[in-house]
Amino acid sequence: MINWYQLAHDKEKTMIQIRRHLHQYPELSFEESHTHDYIVNQLEQLSCEIRRPVGKNGIVATFKGQGDGPTVALRADFDALPITELNDKPYRSKNEGCMHACGHDGHTAILLGVAEVINEHLAYLNGNVVLIFQYGEEIVPGGAQQMIDDGCLDGVDRVYGNHLWSGYPTGIIYSRPGAMMASPDEFTVKITGKGGHGAKPHETIDPIVILAEFILSAQKIVSRTVDPIKQAVVTFGMIQAGASDSVIPDSAICKGTVRTFDPDIQTHIMNKLDKLLQGLAVANDIEYDLDYERGYVPVHNNPQAYEIVKEAANDLNFRFTEADMMMVGEDFSAYQRV
């Protein structure tokens, strides 16, 4: 009887070493050349078939078993975020303005550890295991769909992914059947009025005041036009206007995000934002531009796949808890639609 828990424990130091290396050399989405080469180098030491590049920069490693069991895919992403790391750990990012702040270094380290375990126990493999190392998860349109279009799921019966989440306690596996992660849309609004001196506001069309009115009105879209049983979020994360305390600028810009699980609600909110701007344009003689970009479709877990994960966790005496629905987004959803 194989002690799978012990096997994973034996790989702990290796996975930590890999994770810390990747953490020191993060690369932004669609620019992951060093990370790509590092992963390939690790895989070339194992008895697997390696295909690269898949899509723009992806890697697929296949372990073929002896039996006629299913082909199961496991996916890890490996891009980083444009964030400056402030901690003083010895393995902190060496790439200024870039950091593994979303755990993708951990995802990749885990999957490389799994690859070693599989490689050492190929005789027990009834079926095939496909390891998908994906680039570009952080930026729409994401790397997942590009890799799928290039055949990363050809012959695959089921695909699983994991996501480290600092908001949960260490040592617990969280998942849920059905909807789990939302569709993360992004939008930019530019309002153009008429600038002038701050002492003579009557001679201007103040875009800052109008933008403020838009932002406040947008907060009512969810609370007053969306069924409270449905889940939706409208958040503004950036406002930019002017450069002086006494000059009213010609334009003002804001950026935000919309998070939904229902495509009808998604479309409803997008239309409501546009209608608010239309009304403000008529009332205030301003011009506006709304750039709305739909994000990934929601992550929707297959109930049978969920039960397999839950059963495996229980068999290995891991702590398993049903997760709440989350308003974050993930392009793992692309694999679930195939």
Known catalytic residues? Answer: 79, 137
Question: Which residue type, as a one-letter code, is found at position 260?
Answer: T
104 is in an annotated binding site: yes
The dihedrals phi and psi of 227, each to the nearest 5 degrees, come to -50, 125
Q: What is the DSSP letter of 298?
A: P
DSSP assignment of 183-248 equals EEEEEEEEEE-B-EETT-GGGSB-HHHHHHHHHHHHHHHHHHHS-TTS-EEEEEEEEEE-S-TTEE
Write down the residue that tokens 């375990």 correspond to.
117
35: nearest Cα among 48, 14, 53, 47: 53
330 is in an annotated binding site: no
Q: Tokens in use for 244?
A: 């002086």
48 is in an annotated binding site: no
| Polymer length in residues for the chain | 338
Question: How far from 275 is each of 214, 256, 263, 280, CA to CA, in Å?
Answer: 10, 17, 18, 9
Q: Are strands 183-192 and 287-293 parallel, antiparallel or unpaired?
A: antiparallel
DSSP assignment of 5-67 equals HHHHHHTHHHHHHHHHHHHHS--BTT--HHHHHHHHHHHTTSSSEEEEEETTTEEEEEEE-SS
| Rounded CA separation 248/242 (Å) | 7
How many Cα neighbours within 13 Å face the side chain of 143?
A: 27
32 is in an annotated binding site: no
Q: Which amino acids are annotated as binding site for Mn(2+), given as ranges?
A: 102, 104, 138, 163
Q: Annotated binding site: which residue ranges? A: 102, 104, 138, 163
